[in-house]
């Protein structure tokens, strides 16, 4: 028997009064997985010492194995972090950057990551080089070639999103990693949006470093992310927080695991929910749910493009798009428009100002259906009449 939309929707804890079209920012956790989270938290409080020293660490291994199988890598090459920014800070701190070294990236990266690289470049004299991506993009091969043409003898690292935050585009990270490897350049992939959203196969991609969030599209509670580092680089990675794992009195399997696993007292229950999240996905046939969401993306994008007078940022296909899409939106005040959508229409959807353009990013998750998109269409029509936004003319609106 098939699973119906209402069965899926009822699994989530979202306020039914809100049209929720922003799974991308912080995810949303189904009750069943959230209860597993609370189960671990209660177990911790029943016997904190036993949990912190025995049950928890054993359970972390089970969770890491489940995650490693999900993203195809070895569990001993993974450590948990609260979020991807934390993971990239570990890496940026550890790279021995010299004056003039270049970190080649794009102008589509997440703001907190830009700040991290700016900080470490400022302190080392290295250069954070953000290659301008001209929109619309056309195909993955051309994109990878253009980015790689920016490599110079100073390029030490390529840092790139797997799926971008402002524009919701899937980047060709596998090809970029392959070419960079041939050129001896370190690859660091920000996959915050990828696990549980699109297939992630770390072994096939073969990056040097990959970080992803489980609390977005894998549906775990917040504060559950990971850092993967290729075995040959692990000994060069310093802990962000110096704790008992540094110069450990009881060394474990590797320095990498010692340094990044013991980080002072913290509640790591969110990490332990990964097996429950994977089980949930299997129970509700999430591959099928995801496919339905992608279908809705492809149906809706042309409608919103027409409504906003704004051309698509990429071809509308599986190469570039998963369960989110962004379009340029013409408004003088993105913050005001975002709050009007929520305050006047009960619609949660991000409107982001990015490098001089405003974008609306629409996420479609299993709990969304056509009625959510219809609500947004109707709100946009009303806001156009009231002058809060204007309709573009489909010409090239992008800053090139
Ligand atoms: C591309 C990208 N990287 C990283 C992040 C992670 O952010 P944080 O570390 O603040 O959870 C996000 C969050 O939306 C993102 O979109």
Q: How confident is the model at residue 151, as a pLDDT? A: 98
The yes-or-no verdict on residue 398 having pLDDT over 70 is no
Q: Specify if 83 maps to a domain.
A: yes
Q: How confident is the model at residue 149, as a pLDDT? A: 98
Q: Which of 242, 260, 279 lies at the terminal end of a domain, its last residue?
A: 279
Nearest CA to ligand 1 atom 10: 85
Q: How confident is the model at residue 5, as a pLDDT? A: 78
Taking the centre of ligand 1 as the mean of its atom positions, its distance from the CA of residue 142, in whole angstroms, is: 26
Domain identity same for 311 and 195: no
- Tell me which of 83, 84, 109, 162 to substitute to probe ligand 1's pocket, judged by most ligand atoms within 8 Å of the beta carbon: 84
Taking the centre of ligand 1 as the mean of its atom positions, its distance from the CA of residue 85, in whole angstroms, is: 7
Confidence of residue 396 (pLDDT cuts 50, 70, 90): very low
Q: Three-state SS for 218?
A: coil
pLDDT in tens, 219-276: 999 999 999 999 999 999 999 999 999 999 999 999 999 999 988 899 999 999 999 9
Average pLDDT of the residues of the chain: 95
- What tokens does 206 get? 């073969």
The yes-or-no verdict on residue 28 having pLDDT over 80 is yes
Per-residue pLDDT averaged across 331-340, rounded? 93
Taking the centre of ligand 1 as the mean of its atom positions, its distance from the CA of residue 84, in whole angstroms, is: 6
Nearest atom in ligand 1 to the alpha carbon of residue 24 is 14
Domain identity same for 168 and 309: no
Are the C-beta atoms of 30 and 280 separated by less than 8 Å?
A: yes
pLDDT in tens, 270-281: 999 999 999 999
Q: Specify if 55 maps to a domain.
A: yes
Q: Specify if 399 maps to a domain.
A: no
pLDDT in tens, 150-199: 999 999 999 999 999 999 999 999 999 999 999 999 999 999 999 999 99
Residue-number span of the structural domain to which 236 is assigned: 34-279
Q: Which of 279, 297, 325 lies at the terminal end of a domain, its last residue?
A: 279
Q: How confident is the model at residue 397, as a pLDDT? A: 47
Q: How confident is the model at residue 2, as a pLDDT? A: 63
pLDDT in tens, 64-111: 999 999 999 999 999 999 999 999 999 999 999 999 999 999 999 999
pTM for the model stands at 0.96
Q: Specify if 197 maps to a domain.
A: yes
Are the C-beta atoms of 364 and 11 separated by less than 8 Å?
A: no
Percentage of the chain exceeding pLDDT 90: 92
Taking the centre of ligand 1 as the mean of its atom positions, its distance from the CA of residue 192, in whole angstroms, is: 5
With vertex at residue 228, the alpha carbon angle to CA 145 and CA 196, rounded to the nearest 5 degrees, is 80
Structural domain tally of the chain? 2
Indicate which CATH number applies to the domain containing 313: 3.90.1150.10
Q: How confident is the model at residue 264, as a pLDDT? A: 87
Taking the centre of ligand 1 as the mean of its atom positions, its distance from the CA of residue 54, in whole angstroms, is: 32
Q: How confident is the model at residue 394, as a pLDDT? A: 60
pLDDT in tens, 110-151: 999 999 999 999 999 999 999 999 999 999 999 999 999 999
Percentage of the chain exceeding pLDDT 70: 97
């Amino acid at each position: 028997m098939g699973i119906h939309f209402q069965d899926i929707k009822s699994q989530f804890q979202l306020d039914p009064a809100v049209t929720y079209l922003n799974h991308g920012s912080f995810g949303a956790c189904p009750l069943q997985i959230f209860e597993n989270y609370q189960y671990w938290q209660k177990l911790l409080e029943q016997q904190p010492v036993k949990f912190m020293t025995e049950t928890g660490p054993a359970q972390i291994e089970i969770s890491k194995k489940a995650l490693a199988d999900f993203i195809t890598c070895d569990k001993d090459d993974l450590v948990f972090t609260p979020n991807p920014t934390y993971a990239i800070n570990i890496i940026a701190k550890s790279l021995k950057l010299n004056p003039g070294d270049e970190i080649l990236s794009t102008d589509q990266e997440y703001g907190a990551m830009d700040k991290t690289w700016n900080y470490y470049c400022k302190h080392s004299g290295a250069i954070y080089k953000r290659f301008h991506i001209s929109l619309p993009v056309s195909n993955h091969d051309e994109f990878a070639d253009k980015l790689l043409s920016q490599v110079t003898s100073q390029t030490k690292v390529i840092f790139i999103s797997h799926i971008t935050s402002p524009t919701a585009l899937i980047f060709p990270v596998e090809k970029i990693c392959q070419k960079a490897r041939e050129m001896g350049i370190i690859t660091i992939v920000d996959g915050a949006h990828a696990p549980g959203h699109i297939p992630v196969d770390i072994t096939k991609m073969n990056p040097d470093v990959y970080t992803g969030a489980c609390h977005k599209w894998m549906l775990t509670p917040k504060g559950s992310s990971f850092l993967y580092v290729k075995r040959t680089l692990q000994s060069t990675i310093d802990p962000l927080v110096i704790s008992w794992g540094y110069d450990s009195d009881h060394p474990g399997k590797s320095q990498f695991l010692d340094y990044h696993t013991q980080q002072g007292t913290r509640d790591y229950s969110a990490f332990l929910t990964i097996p429950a999240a994977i089980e949930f996905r299997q129970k509700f046939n999430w591959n099928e749910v995801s496919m339905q969401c992608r279908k809705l993306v492809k149906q809706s994008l042309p409608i919103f493009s027409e409504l906003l007078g704004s051309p698509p940022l990429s071809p509308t296909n599986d190469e570039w798009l998963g369960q989110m899409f962004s379009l340029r939106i013409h408004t003088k005040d993105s913050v005001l428009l975002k709050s009007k959508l929520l305050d006047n229409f009960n619609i949660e959807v991000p409107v982001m100002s990015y490098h001089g353009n405003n974008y609306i990013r629409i996420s479609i998750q299993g709990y969304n259906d056509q009625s959510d998109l219809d609500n947004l269409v109707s709100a946009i029509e009303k806001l156009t009449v009231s002058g809060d936004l204007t309709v573009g003319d489909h010409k090239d609106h992008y800053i090139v």
